[in-house]
């Protein structure tokens, strides 16, 4: 990448910018924080429910 000419690099920067703009138009409310940040919390709820159902019922 560093050996490429600045003009060649600029071509790829422009392509990346265009793809970002397309994504923003297709998914206007999308946020990495909202979509990837809550993944950690999902695993613990199922285990607690199974234990409480086994003891109560």
Per the structure, the count of domains in the chain is 1
The range of the structural domain enclosing residue 14 comes to 1-29
For residue 18, tell me if it sits in a domain: yes
- CA dist 39 and 32 (Å) reads 11
The pLDDT, as a whole number, for residue 36 is 82
Q: What would the pLDDT profile of 6-39 be if each residue is shown by its tens digit? A: 999 999 999 999 999 999 999 998 888 888 876 5
CB neighbour class for 56 (10 Å; exposed up to 12, middle 13-18, buried from 19): exposed
- Token readout for 10 is 């600029």
- CA dist 44 and 51 (Å) reads 11
For residue 3, tell me if it sits in a domain: yes
For residue 38, tell me if it sits in a domain: no
The pLDDT, as a whole number, for residue 34 is 83
pTM of the model: 0.54
């Amino acid at each position: 990448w560093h050996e490429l000419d600045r003009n060649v690099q600029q071509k790829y920067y422009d392509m990346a910018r265009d793809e970002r703009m397309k994504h923003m138009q297709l998914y206007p409310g999308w946020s990495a924080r909202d979509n990837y940040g809550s993944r950690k919390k999902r695993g613990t709820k199922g285990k607690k429910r199974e234990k409480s159902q086994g003891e109560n019922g």
